Structure 1
């Protein structure tokens, strides 16, 4: 990745709907050159996808919680991860070092739904316990990664 690729990635992080023409104007290349670079960044898994960011509260998911999963001795980590992947309320899943094997970010619409979800998670094969922390508010999330994208 060169400096132009880094600038393209930063621009797309700010606005993934930016046209190739506008990207080209901002990095000083032709549209076809930018399109070729973006395609290469996608093929090399630098850019892994595009998505619309949705306000969770606007779609009825006003409660965000972090749920730690403690696995049982002898459980297969991959089996737990596979089971968690099938649960719609789980937005992110991190494999952790420490007492908890996984940390999940979950979103639900009501505390009763969170209680039900935590109960479901605790009953998954290989899960020996959970620890839940409820976020009071979200100050920011999904901040674009800029480290490694600039030479400051």
Structure 2
């Protein structure tokens, strides 16, 4: 962590970041009440976190089932001989049902998170993906944990692990 980031993420900065990760729609007034700062101080600290690249965006969480997309799956993609992982990722990213795409290490080269309205719809998406990659699909039954907040304790634990390895 750089000195600038350490300066921004003092104890109060971490508390602000935690609150925003839990609910990014909190007003600056509410945030200030929760962490003991004035509205201008909260606004300044949040602005600094954005400028430093700590906060990179604010997003609405969408209920896919309510929208008619109840099937969520993780599809692992390998590459055909001579096909690059970058090209597989680029082609997969063009499919609207692909919500997220990760280039990974191991026997597969890309993981994608896919939504579908029905099993035939999912089958169609898998067929699209299979045109340029070997696909292996896992259907998500439930999400026991989602979007864990990044905390100061997590960062300290990671740094301690790094120090023990040296």
Structure 2 length-normalised TM: 0.80
Alpha-carbon deviation of 1:139?
Answer: 3.1
1:147–1:95 CA distance, 2 compared to 1 (3 A): farther
User: Residue by residue, what CA displacement relative to the aligned partner does 1:11-54 show, whole Å, maximum 9, x if unpaired?
Assistant: 01111111111111222222111111111111222111111111
The residue aligned with 1:15 is: 23
Return the alpha-carbon distance in structure 1 between the equivalents of residues 91 and 71 of structure 2.
22
The residue aligned with 1:64 is: 72
Question: 2:86·2:103 contact (CA, 8 Å) conserved in 1?
Answer: no
Matches within 5 A, 1:68-147: 68-124=76-132, 128-146=133-151
SS at match of 1:59: coil
Runs of 4+ in 1 over 6 A off after TM superposition: 149-152
Of 54, 59, 62 in structure 2, the residue corresponding to residue 54 of structure 1 is 62
1:62–1:88 CA distance, 2 compared to 1 (3 A): same
Q: Which runs of 5+ in 2 are unaligned?
A: 1-8, 158-166
Count of aligned positions = 149
Residue 38 (structure 2) pairs with residue 30 (structure 1):
yes
CA RMSD for the aligned pairs?
2.0
Q: Which runs of 5+ in 1 are unaligned?
A: none
1:149–1:135 CA distance, 2 compared to 1 (3 A): closer
Question: 1:61·1:109 contact (CA, 8 Å) conserved in 2?
Answer: yes
Structure 1 length-normalised TM: 0.87
Question: 1:6·1:149 contact (CA, 8 Å) conserved in 2?
Answer: no
Q: As a proportion of its length, which structure holds more helix?
A: 2
Return the alpha-carbon distance in structure 1 between the equivalents of residues 121 and 152 of structure 2.
37
Return the alpha-carbon distance in structure 2 between the equivalents of residues 30 and 45 of structure 1.
23
